[in-house]
Structure 1
Amino acid sequence: MSDAATIPDADTIPDAARKLEWAPRGAWAELPADGHLGTPGAAGTTITARNGLGIASLIAAEGSDDALVQALKTRFGLDLPSTPLAVRSATHALVWAGPGQWLLVADDRSGFADDLQALSGLAAIAEQSDGRAALTLSGPKIRDALAKGCMIDLHPSVFPIGAAALTSIAHIGVHLWRVADGPDGAVFEIMVARSMAGSFWSWLSASVAEFGCTLAATGRG
């Protein structure tokens, strides 16, 4: 008698066992539920997970700079930044990502495929919506928390509203830019590769704990 396991006939396997369900998961699915992190009391920092963004990298096609500038102006009302800056409208942002390169960020993925199609032929476009993990960071102590690992000076005299940078935090590559101030002071948008989200969160959660932190599940910067 053979000791080999008997392979069941496909018809005898229950439907529930045969059907493997894959549910979409956000980059920050493992973050604690909305609430408070770190030192109790008034929070000195706020972290908002940016879920559902449309994100694409744009690299200007040779000889199409003027046409790309006009297309972005017409469709989004945004001027293409030629220096390390971020500009935004009510629904979209353009963020400098290097010479001749930008990130296009939409607050909502609805219609984002049409946005990218409208730019076809004017730029090399790579959809990054599921490849990046984004957060909005704010609060009166957020600069102090970021200073624990950020490689650049975020003082307002050298990193004003609209400034953008490609840098590293705790040895993790990040794309960072400053948006309009909120009620509690400076507000920063930050993106990391989705594969590095867990490592970045490990550093960030430890860095903000000293000051207390309010967590939010989703939102806009």
Structure 2
Amino acid sequence: MADATTAIWAPRSAWAGILHEGHIGLAGSTSITIAARDGLGIASLIAPAAGEAALAEAVKAAFGLDLPATPAIARAGHHAAVWAGPGQWLLLAETRSGFSDALQALSGVAAVAEQSSGRAALRLSGPRIRDALAKGCMLDLHPVAFPVGMAALTSIAHIGVHLWRAQDCPEGAVFEIMVARSFAGSFWSWLSASVAEFGCDIVASGASIGRG
């Protein structure tokens, strides 16, 4: 048995042991696709009182992003900023490589907390994704009420979520959703049951299914 003091701890995806690549629900039909969003760099930013302008300048200089002033997501290159409340945002990077170092540019102008290992994210798409989300989401996700680029903090099945709408794909609407890592299993229990009616393909990386 390995000595607990010398054992090597390997990082695992928030979805490891939860997502299993393949098809669930209605056979012969795929109206929804779910993909794990592993490897994101995630940090919360909170501006000090009267400090939003300084933070916005620093984020623009370091990441090329304009912080959204309303519930929305802004993108630039491999980074995005998602409104998370008055004076608060989530900063996202497509890769964690160099992310911690890049955050140093915001030192002194915001309270910065890296959340890369503390959140679990999914990309949901397809012509029936709104119908599945409507089973537990109290928001009106109709395209007129929730257009591309809009974001929201809400609850689904009594679990707090951060939700935003990405650019549509050929198969239909695309939503990205993020929950606290500790709620990943509970959220998946609800979501997998909700999408089964419509037929769903799951795309999971090796890390998501426990191979990394």
Q: Could you state the TM-score of these two structures normalised by the residue count of structure 2?
A: 0.92
1:72 corresponds in structure 2 to: 59
* Deviation (angstroms), 1:85: 0.6
Partner SS state of residue 115, structure 1: helix
Q: Is the counterpart of residue 56 in structure 1 residue 56 in structure 2?
A: no
2:117 corresponds in structure 1 to: 130
Map 1:77-156 → 2, pairs under 5 A: 77-156=64-143
Q: Which runs of 5+ in 1 are unaligned?
A: 1-15
* Deviation (angstroms), 1:122: 0.9
Q: Aligned partners of 2:192 and 2:177: how far apart in 1?
A: 14
Partner SS state of residue 182, structure 2: helix
2:187 corresponds in structure 1 to: 200
Partner SS state of residue 198, structure 2: coil
One-letter amino acid of the structure 1 residue matched with residue 147 of structure 2: P
Map 1:29-48 → 2, pairs under 5 A: 29-48=16-35
1:12 corresponds in structure 2 to: none
One-letter amino acid of the structure 2 residue matched with residue 74 of structure 1: A
Q: Which one has a bigger Cα radius of gyration?
A: 1
* Deviation (angstroms), 1:63: 3.5
* Deviation (angstroms), 1:71: 1.8
Q: Is the counterpart of residue 164 in structure 1 residue 151 in structure 2?
A: yes
Deviations 1:125-165 (A, max 9, x none): 11111111000110111000000000111011110001110
One-letter amino acid of the structure 1 residue matched with residue 58 of structure 2: A
Q: Aligned partners of 1:75 and 1:20: how far apart in 2?
A: 38
* Deviation (angstroms), 1:98: 0.3
Q: Is the counterpart of residue 24 in structure 1 residue 26 in structure 2?
A: no
2:209 corresponds in structure 1 to: none
Larger RCO of the pair (alpha carbons < 8 Å, separation 6+): 2
Map 1:177-188 → 2, pairs under 5 A: 177-188=164-175
* Deviation (angstroms), 1:21: 4.0
* Deviation (angstroms), 1:115: 1.8
- Cα contact 1:47–1:214 (8 A) shared by 2: yes
- Cα contact 1:61–1:121 (8 A) shared by 2: no
Aligned residue pairs total 203
One-letter amino acid of the structure 2 residue matched with residue 81 of structure 1: P
Q: Aligned partners of 1:22 and 1:69: how far apart in 2?
A: 37
1:173 corresponds in structure 2 to: 160
* Deviation (angstroms), 1:32: 4.1
Q: Aligned partners of 1:61 and 1:32: how far apart in 2?
A: 38
Q: Which runs of 5+ in 2 are unaligned?
A: 206-212
One-letter amino acid of the structure 1 residue matched with residue 125 of structure 2: S
1:8 corresponds in structure 2 to: none
- Cα contact 1:84–1:165 (8 A) shared by 2: yes
After the TM superposition, list the runs of 4 or more consecutive aligned residues in structure 1 that deviate by more than 3 angstroms.
none
